[in-house]
Amino acid sequence: GGLVGYCCYGPTPMTENTFDLYWIASAPEVRGQGIGAGLISAMEADLRRRKARIIRVETSATEAYGPTRGFYASMKYGEEARIKDFYKQGDDLIILTKRM
């Protein structure tokens, strides 16, 4: 066995118990097998121990990121804010959050 997925997260500067999920990825051959959900669950368990209040994720509004947004929705992350044309014309930044 080798590495099949990872996530990277940390405290959001200048906030009280808010954390950012910077990256989460799984190998293409294991997508849909619960690796991502397991990584999110492990991160959330760690952040509960650390008394997290909010977890924040940024993603793109493009169609290519539809499956990514669907994954976060399945993990109970909701859209908190949107910045129009952030990445480029027609590609909004979507900020998702989950309150712990």
pLDDT by residue (tens digit) across 58-88?
999 999 999 999 999 999 999 999 999 999 9
Give 52: exposed, middle or buried? Use CB within 10 Å, 0-12, 13-18, 19+: buried
Mean pLDDT, the chain, as a whole number? 97
Pick 17 or 1 by higher pLDDT.
17
Say if residues 4 and 31 touch (Cβ distance below 8 Å). no
Superfamily of domain 5-99: Gcn5-related N-acetyltransferase (GNAT) (3.40.630.30)
Residue 1 is predicted with a pLDDT of 76
For the chain, the structural domain boundaries read 5-99
